[in-house]
A = this chain, B = another copy of it.
Amino acid sequence: MLQTVNFPQAKHTGAAFLGSEPSCLQALFKKPPVERVAAGQSLFFEGDAARHLFEVVEGSLRIFKIISDGRRVITGFLHDGDIVGVSLKSHYLYSAEAITDTKVRRISRKAFDAEVDNSPDLRPEVFARLCDEMAAAQEQMVLLSRKNAAERICSFLLKELIRVTCDGRTDLVIELPMTRLDIADYLGLTIETVSRTMTKLTNKGVIAPAGRHSIRIVKRSALVLLAGNDDGYCDNTVEFAEYARQSRH
């Protein structure tokens, strides 16, 4: 959820937002034609001149950085409604690839900047998105810095659950189009640890597999506790959070 801002998520942050009316920003992307990006294909590469911004119309993207010896760090997943590149200056800081067959619209950075500069209404919206990106980045740092495997997985599942339920869906099934390797590279774990941890959650009755790329949330409350979030916007009691932790019960 980094390097992008998702509307549903914005609705759920504690910060101020502008109700639920459609964003003005997205109107900028209405004009250009839809482009298709096949699963696995790249949209752009880290280091490329950042000449365009993209709106995801349909499908999912992963954005990631590769470090010297090939290790990959996924800094975020993008879904429909997300906009890529708001926080960029001259060059892309990360690469973007389609996870599934994806449709995007693009506008040039130049046009975007011009529109935003001329519209006092758009500017707060851009600013709000940047702030949401920063907040998401901070949450991710907390996760990567101090959470164990179970807490990372639960935090991730919970975030995905919140995202889809905001789209109006009320069932507790989340779809995870990305592979286990993607999840691992996003959460700073290995594919095996992701798999093992999910198996444990299944055995505990917290989640249940629902097809290859879907998961049913059986005990949402348990997920919240196990996520071990900071006490910012969730009202876990400290005792429960402690109980939920593996290593220091």
Contact = CB atoms under 8 A, between A and B. Distances in A.
Given A67-B142, A145-B188, A90 B15 contact: yes
A192 interface: no
Interface string A38-75: 00000000110000000000000000011111010101
Interface string A116-152: 0100100100011011011101101110111000000
B138 A141 contact: no
Contacts of A144: 141, 144-145, 188
A47 B141 CA distance: 18
A168 B146 CA distance: 36
Number of copies: 2
A123 B128 contact: no
Given A89-B131, A117-B120, A130-B130, A68 B229 contact: yes
B146 A71 contact: yes
Nearest to A243: B69
A231 interface: yes
Given A128-B89, A230-B68, A141 B2 contact: yes
Interface stretch (A28-36, A169-177, A211-219, A234-242): A234-242
Nearest to A69: B242
A245 to B, nearest CB: 6
A177 to B, nearest CB: 21
Nearest to A137: B137
Contacts of A3: 134, 138
Nearest to A88: B131
A87 interface: yes
| Max count, chain B CB within 10 A of own CB: residue among A71, A128, A137, A231 | A137
